[in-house]
Structure 1
Amino acid sequence: YPYKMKYYDNISNNFPGGLFKYVYKVSLYDEYPFEHEFFLRIEKSFPFMKELTIVNAKPQKNKLYRKSMSDNKDLSIIKSPHLTDLNLIQAHDDYVEQFLVDTEMCLSNHLHLSVYYEAMKMVTENFTRNTTRINCAKLRSLHLWMACGITKHVKDYFPHTHIF
């Protein structure tokens, strides 16, 4: 019987895959890092995913390998055409980078992102990094947790985004 639930919670690295075309809300949780290949499996398993929350404080192990593959353009880009709400508040900075670097992820337009200000500042290299500009330009709204204020410099990096 097809899985008819609208949500799938606390998926870990042990997730076997499968097709869940009715699921639109997904949460990922593990005490071990999620690598790029895991996100490819999630992409294929939840083709109509609209909401994603990641809870994982562990840094990715294959980050340097991914970077070298990215330089060679052999890395598969993860596509999330229906994703409208991404919560990375409880995620290690590596996952913020995973979702914002355009050679790793192609985000949908009109995305709402929740993330810590310091994580966003680091990943975007103080809001100057070119490889994060494409996905950051797709943000409809941005909830910057623990931001002391939104400077003009930050607003210029997200020109069409509602920041709060």
Structure 2
Amino acid sequence: MSLTLVKLTITVSCLFDCLYLFDGRLDSLSTLIINVSYIFGPKIRKYSQKKLLKLKYFSLSSPKFTADYDNLIVPLLCQMINLEELKLYLLVERFDSTYFDGGIFYKVRYLTMNDKIPFEHKLFNVISEDFPFLEFLRICNDYSPKTKEHSLTLITFPYLTLLDLQDAHDDYAELFLLTKNVYLPRLLNLSMLYTSDIGPVPVQ
């Protein structure tokens, strides 16, 4: 495999089939897209001490549920310290809640969140802290948050300019647009759907 490869799209059966991509030999890689059928296995001990310094874009997709997000995905994300765009299309099984725990990504500007488990208020608080310079946020979730009461924690996305809620439950619009929940001082573009007598109407 070329050591000067800058973009790679790969489809594998199991995530372990492509772990060699993270051992540092592809140090010129800037874009990595992985489509995987199954994500399971023992916890990854530090597979590589070498950081993927040039990796700017990472996308990981899987159609199957996984209970090994913390054991397999988080250690890999911690190697990507210069990411600018991260897309995770995963079905994560958790016994308590849905949350993200992958470190702080100062260079990520674009984030898409997609799940079949409701996103709760505390998850967005974690996202705002782990992606402090996020500019574009897209939420894809048809399920209403289970907890709707007002939280004492005000979530701030100081650099967010575009919020895409077209594929999100209406309750996420309420969560983000009520200033008692979320503060968006630089928001310029909002994309969402609202239901009228003639059906769903796009708002941009």
TM-score normalized with structure 2 length: 0.52
74, 98, 103: which one pairs with 1:18? 103
Structure with more helix by fraction: 1
Gap runs ≥5 in structure 1:
70-74, 122-144, 148-162
Deviations 1:39-84 (A, max 9, x none): 0000000000000000000011011xx23x5xxxxx1000011001
Provide closer, same or farther for how the CA distance between residues 7 and 60 of structure 1 changes in structure 2, counting only shifts above 3 A.
same
Check conservation: 1:17, 1:42, Cα contact below 8 A. Answer: no
Q: Which residue of 1 aligns with 2:122?
A: 37
Deviations 1:7-64 (A, max 9, x none): 111366342141000100001011000000000000000000000000000011011x
Alignment of 1:95 onto 2:153: no
Structure with more strand by fraction: 2
Gap runs ≥5 in structure 2:
1-50, 52-79, 93-97
Q: Which stretches of structure 1, 4 residues or more, deviate above 3 A after TM superposition?
A: none
Provide closer, same or farther for how the CA distance between residues 110 and 29 of structure 1 changes in structure 2, counting only shifts above 3 A.
closer
Alignment of 1:117 onto 2:194: yes
Check conservation: 1:17, 1:41, Cα contact below 8 A. Answer: no
Check conservation: 1:78, 1:104, Cα contact below 8 A. Answer: yes
The CA distance in 1 between the partners of 2:117 and 2:103, in whole Å, is: 21
Q: Which residue of 2 aligns with 1:8?
A: 86
Q: CA RMSD in A?
A: 2.1
Find the structure with the greater CA-based Rg: 2
Q: Which residue of 2 aligns with 1:55?
A: 140
Report which structure shows greater RCO (CA 8 Å, sep ≥6).
1
The CA distance in 2 between the partners of 1:14 and 1:76, in whole Å, is: 16
Alignment of 1:107 onto 2:184: yes
31, 46, 49: which one pairs with 2:131? 46
Provide closer, same or farther for how the CA distance between residues 99 and 14 of structure 1 changes in structure 2, counting only shifts above 3 A.
closer
The CA distance in 2 between the partners of 1:23 and 1:92, in whole Å, is: 25
Q: Per-residue deviation at 1:110?
A: 4.3
Q: Per-residue deviation at 1:109?
A: 2.9
